[in-house]
Amino acid sequence: MRKAAPVPAALAVAAGVLLNGCSSGDGSTTQAPPAPSPTVSTVKVTDTALGKAMGKLAFQGTESSSKDGGACQTRAARKAGMPEETLAHIVKADSDDMGAVLDGLNKVSEDDAALLASWSLREDFDACIDKAVLPIGSSPKTQSYVPPKAAAEPAAGKPDLKQAYPVRADQPVNSSIELTKGLVSMFSSYARDEGQKKTYAAAGTCLSTLVHNAGFSQEALHFFAGGASLGTGSIVEHLPNDKDKAI
């Protein structure tokens, strides 16, 4: 089973600025600037609201839910050093679509979006999910591993190479977010039932992060982003060069 990797210390560094009192140096004090108007940055997000949103986001559209109300995911997010603005954005979004949340957050703070999509935080979320679905009284250390049922052989036929999503060949793929929908579409086309399709949907952000960081060529990334519903054969055979195929 997966083991959650500790969040790097660098992720725990808060991106705040300490505001000092305004002193003239001669003992007198100048007037301090007016307090900021109330915004999401001045409101602390409650663990209850955050837990609900985090649980929904972590299980991403599956019928499962967090038994602890998302408390485990909330602890992971706070441990990672997510600022209140980011947590407020997640609560406000109230979505099970990680890609959409990341896309919205990316417009506010690219660093916070990268933190939410980071592999180490994803590992912590996965550990929370593993713990949530274990039978009462068991633990990851004692749980017997049961391999998933083998997928049925792909049906013989001609692969469908038509793109499910429009992709501009002249625009580079710069983020994992651009790959999520396409990869889910492509992998889901091989699924034998709705259960497998939901599994691929839940793993979409993880898949796209891995693919984006793997070193594929832009041509290969465009192919993945297009999300062709192949349904048969091998994805590898449609990649443009030997390096991409090796990856």
- Looking at residue 28, what is its pLDDT? 43
- Looking at residue 149, what is its pLDDT? 52
First CA to last CA distance, the chain: 24
Query: Is the pLDDT higher at 84 or at 35?
Result: 84
Closest CA to 186 of 150, 234, 122: 234
pLDDT at 99 over 80: no
Which of 40-49, 120-129, 200-209 is predicted with the least confidence, judged by mean pLDDT?
40-49
pLDDT in tens, 153-192: 544 568 899 999 988 888 899 888 899 999 999 999 999 8
What pTM was computed for the model? 0.42
- Looking at residue 185, what is its pLDDT? 94
DSSP designation for 96 = S
Q: How confident is the model at residue 42 (pLDDT cuts 50, 70, 90)?
A: low
Mention every residue, 6+ apart, whose C-beta is less than 8 A from residue 109: 85, 86
Distance CA 109, CA 216 (A): 26
Which range, 57-71, 110-124, 207-221, is most confident? 207-221
Continuous segment of H or E residues that includes residue 104: helix 98-106
Which range, 27-31, 104-108, 180-184, is most confident? 180-184
